[in-house]
Structure 1
Amino acid sequence: MRRVAIIGHGAIGRELATALLRRGGYAVAVVLRPGSSRAGQVGPDCVTVHDPAALAAFRPAIVVEAAGAQAVREWGPASLGLGVPLLLSSVGALHDDGLRAALVEAAEAAGTRLYLPSGALAGLDYVLAARAAGDLRIRYESRKPPAAWADELRRLGHVERPARPVTLLEGSAREAAARYPANLNVAATLALAGIGFDRTEVSVVVDPEARGNTHGIAVASELGSLELSVVNRPSPDNPKTSWIVSRSLLSAIEQHFSTVQLL
């Protein structure tokens, strides 16, 4: 039995737990704070744990974070301290250099690894191969429909359904991840795969014509160039999140347990 602990039980965590149990051969624990309102949503086939001691007693082979940047801070070092890999959904949390260094130090001390999934993105294999190329430039554009940015549009005084595209940010991946940690995990992943948070260019656009959560990447270097666009359907439970994210985590878990790995 493959033992997987999932931190959080929001849209991504629920979808992932359901997918693992349907696969069969998995034992799943859901990690929640004591008194969490999510506790009643955890199915009878899952174990619920509330503290590091209970997590250790479950004996996971891998821990998956699916609860946001604060959960990375609260649970990251303790999870890695068990000596098992930690798979992060909230990669945007790693724009904090101190947190990233602490997680790497904890992983090295315990002889384990920090896994970063591709999430809602494609093309990371190319970016990793080109990261040492001369004159490398990477640009990322996020275009999501207004439903994904309703709270931010209200905060900024825009109508909830703008007639034209609204640019929320033009800046670096560090700025994007710091301002919108729940929405810009993709920008952080791209930055870590390529030329870093400060050199990766990011544009965040609310687009009433967007067909889904759209991610555009442009990469140019002495090795050549890459341009791609990924259009993901939003999660039925959370329009800010692409539905495919939970499947990306599922794929990473299966790769962890697989004899043959695609790198």
Structure 2
Amino acid sequence: MRRVAIIGHGAIGRDLATALASRDGYALAVVLRPGSASAAAVDPACAVLPDVGALARFAPALVVEAAGAGAVREWGAAVLGLGVPLLLSSVGALHDDALRHALVATAQAAGTRLYLPSGALAGLDYVRAMRGAPNLRVRYESRKPTAAWADELARLGPDAAPDAALTLFQGNARAAAARYPANLNVAATLALAGAGFEETEVRVVADPAARGNTHAIRATSDLGELDLVVANRPSPDNPKTSGIVSRALLAAVEQHFSTVVML
């Protein structure tokens, strides 16, 4: 039996739990704080775990984080310290060098691994192969419908409801992930795959005409070049994220347990 615990039961965690429950051979648990309103939506076949002790007793073979950057800080070292591999959904949390180094050190000491999924992106295999190549340059643009940026636009005031595309941010991946932790996990993933946080250029656009959550990557080096655009449908439960994200986590879980691993 493949024992998997999922931290969080929002749009991503719930979709992942539902997908795994439909497959044979999985025993599932959901990690939630005591009194969490999300507990009522958890399938009765899934255990609900309130703390690290309960998680240790469940003895998962893999833990999946699907609850935001705060959950990475709260649970990351504790999970890895148990010697259990951790698959992160909220990769943007790793823009914090101190947190990233601490998690890596904990994983190394415990003899386990920290997994970073592709999430809403494609082409990361090519970008990883380019890493360290001469004259590497990586540019990324996030273009999403205005519904994905409702909170941010509200903070900018009524004049910020755009009738046309509006650039919200232009800078490097570290600043992007820090500024938009719920929207820019992909920028951090791309940075870690390739040129690093400072050298990965990011542009963030709110566009009422966007055809879904669109991610454009331009990567060039002496080895070649990559131009790629992915247009994902937003999650019906959370327009900040794409429906494909939970499927990317599912694919990563299946790879973890697979005899044949595609890298």
TM-score category of the 2 structures, normalised to the smaller one: over 0.9
Offset of 1:36 from its aligned partner?
1.1
SS at match of 2:140: strand
Offset of 1:45 from its aligned partner?
1.3
SS at match of 2:3: strand
Tell me which residue corresponds to 1:56.
56
Question: For residues 38 and 228 of structure 1, do their structure 2 counterparts lie closer, same or farther at Cα, with a shift above 3 Å needed?
Answer: same
Tell me which residue corresponds to 2:27.
27
Offset of 1:158 from its aligned partner?
4.2
1:187-236 Cα offsets, whole Å, 9 max, x none, are: 00000000110110000000111010000000011011100000000111
SS at match of 2:245: helix
Over the aligned positions, Cα root-mean-square deviation in angstroms equals 0.9
Q: Does 1:173 align with 2:173?
A: yes
Letter in 1 for 2:150: A
Letter in 2 for 1:171: G
For 1:220 and 1:93, locate their aligned partners in 2 and report how far apart those are by CA, in whole Å.
26
Q: Does the Cα contact within 8 Å between 1:90 and 1:185 map onto a contact in 2?
A: yes
Q: TM-score, normalised by structure 2?
A: 0.99
Q: Does the Cα contact within 8 Å between 1:141 and 1:203 map onto a contact in 2?
A: yes
Letter in 2 for 1:237: D
For 1:175 and 1:250, locate their aligned partners in 2 and report how far apart those are by CA, in whole Å.
29
SS at match of 1:98: helix
Deviating beyond 4 angstroms after TM superposition, the runs of 4 or more aligned structure 1 residues are 158-161
Letter in 1 for 2:129: A
For 2:84 and 2:32, locate their aligned partners in 1 and report how far apart those are by CA, in whole Å.
19
Letter in 2 for 1:49: L
Tell me which residue corresponds to 1:201.
201
Q: Does the Cα contact within 8 Å between 1:161 and 1:208 map onto a contact in 2?
A: no
For 1:245 and 1:144, locate their aligned partners in 2 and report how far apart those are by CA, in whole Å.
15
1:39-73 Cα offsets, whole Å, 9 max, x none, are: 11111111000100000000100000000001001
For 2:237 and 2:257, locate their aligned partners in 1 and report how far apart those are by CA, in whole Å.
28
What is the aligned residue count? 263
Q: Which runs of 5+ in 1 are unaligned?
A: none
Q: Does the Cα contact within 8 Å between 1:121 and 1:215 map onto a contact in 2?
A: yes
1:104-158 Cα offsets, whole Å, 9 max, x none, are: 0110010000000000000000000001110100000000001100111110114
For 1:98 and 1:13, locate their aligned partners in 2 and report how far apart those are by CA, in whole Å.
26
Letter in 2 for 1:189: T
Tell me which residue corresponds to 1:228.
228
Question: For residues 126 and 161 of structure 1, do their structure 2 counterparts lie closer, same or farther at Cα, with a shift above 3 Å needed?
Answer: same
1:136-187 Cα offsets, whole Å, 9 max, x none, are: 0000000000110011111011457521111110000000000001100000
Tell me which residue corresponds to 2:150.
150
Q: Does 1:257 align with 2:257?
A: yes
SS at match of 2:37: coil
SS at match of 2:176: helix
What are the equivalent positions in structure 2 for 1:93-242 lying under 5 Å apart?
93-158=93-158, 161-242=161-242
More displaced 10-residue stretch of structure 1: 26-35 or 155-164: 155-164
Q: TM-score, normalised by structure 1?
A: 0.99
Q: Does 1:70 align with 2:84?
A: no
Q: Which runs of 5+ in 2 are unaligned?
A: none
For 1:158 and 1:115, locate their aligned partners in 2 and report how far apart those are by CA, in whole Å.
40
Letter in 2 for 1:68: G
For 2:97 and 2:128, locate their aligned partners in 1 and report how far apart those are by CA, in whole Å.
20
Q: Does the Cα contact within 8 Å between 1:146 and 1:160 map onto a contact in 2?
A: no
Q: Does the Cα contact within 8 Å between 1:62 and 1:87 map onto a contact in 2?
A: yes
SS at match of 1:12: helix
SS at match of 1:217: strand
Identical-pair percentage: 74
Offset of 1:24 from its aligned partner?
2.0
For 2:172 and 2:132, locate their aligned partners in 1 and report how far apart those are by CA, in whole Å.
19
